[in-house]
Amino acid sequence: MSPFGRNFLPGPTDVRPEVLAALDHPMFGHRSPRMQALLASVQPALQECFGTRQPVFVATSSGTGLLEAAIRNGVRDRVLVAVGGYFGEYLARIAESCGRQVFRVHVHPGLAITAEQLDQFLEGPAVDAVAIVHSESSTGALADIPALAEVVRARKDVLLLVDGVTSVGAMPIEMDRWGADYYCTGSQKAMALPPGLAFGAASERFMARAQEQDDAGYYFSVRRMVSIARENLPTWTPAVSLFLALELQMARIAASGGWSARWARHRAMLETMEAWIAAPFVAAGGPTVMALRASIITTNIVVATLLIVGIFVPFSYYLDRLFYRSAQRRAARQQSDGRRGS
């Protein structure tokens, strides 16, 4: 086992030894006063993290589970998905697997869709929702959610669903103020917990939409999860040990200055990493580092660069080839299927 501080993935991240130790505590009833008190104690911290006054619900699942919940509960028929990297395409495939019609908007890898681009695309076929990956960790691009939300809110009855898996906890999120309708994340990312929990929040507009859905399912019914969270009760049978780790981690964050101090530390770590990468090239008078700056915005949680022949280049250069070739193959298959069906 590698020592703490040696794992540089955006997730699963390293987990502090004392947080891991919380997993060793004896089990207790998941519907006991102890669990209800635990959930009540972490709710304010989770709401601050999401920037919402709505209840933050917790599911025993990966973040993917709550991405599927976003689609099943928030999309009637058609959704526009911005695809600029692996996780944008991942989100589109989740929507298709849920039986929704997906309109992919392909953005150059390493960039994020702009408000102006989204405004133009929404002049096309009508959609029920727009789904965006906030922090595309495959390229380092960060979407401007406040600007995108303003565009979406200008359309009647269109929701904004945000994959915040690698942004929530890593940077300030103002879900209510920005006007996003749904956000979710997983415990193994910026929360710095073991994998196995997913966190989500939904706007009143989203809840009204979910009320209409007849195929939202049971386990991932957002209406049920929100109702249960309001009472500080667990959804179904939870991973009790992970909730103990969550309780300890929220206390650690509070004792270290709260979320604002944590976000500032993440930003400082990013700047330190960028300076470290650039230093040898600056000293040698060579090319400067080409860190990914999507519209001059880089996600706090990942510096996506690749060292090739001594020069750092954006990882997006390689993703560009991968995703556009994939799109070309998909278009060719659709064209072939169309010929066979005629």
Please indicate, yes or no, if residue 272 is contained in any of the structural domains: yes
Containing H/E element for 208? Answer: helix 204-212
Residues forming a β-bridge with 108? none
Contact criterion met (CB below 8 Å) for 60 and 239: yes
The residue range of the domain holding 127 is 17-253
Please tell me whether residue 177 adopts helix, strand or coil conformation: helix
Closest CA to 210 of 3, 21, 54, 104: 54
**Is 185 found in the same domain as 234?**
yes
Closest CA to 306 of 286, 289, 323, 321: 289
Q: What is the pLDDT of residue 21?
A: 96
The pLDDT of 153-159, averaged and rounded, is 95
Please check the confidence at residue 185 and state whether its pLDDT lies above 90: yes
Q: Which residue has the higher pLDDT, 325 or 47?
A: 47
In tens, the pLDDT along 53-69 reads 999 999 999 999 999 99
Question: CA-to-CA distance for 24 and 22, rounded, in angstroms?
Answer: 5
In sequence order, the 6+-apart residues with CB closer than 8 A to the CB of 205 are 159, 181
Predicted TM-score of the model (pTM): 0.85
305-308 and 129-133 beta bridge pairing: unpaired
**Is 268 found in the same domain as 120?**
no
**Is 337 found in the same domain as 216?**
no
Please indicate, yes or no, if residue 4 is contained in any of the structural domains: no
Single-letter residue type at 59: A
**Is 272 found in the same domain as 164?**
no
Give the total number of structural domains in the chain.
2
Q: What is the pLDDT of residue 320?
A: 46
Percent of the chain exceeding pLDDT 70 equals 81
Residues forming a β-bridge with 103? 80
Q: What is the pLDDT of residue 293?
A: 37
The pLDDT of 1-6, averaged and rounded, is 67
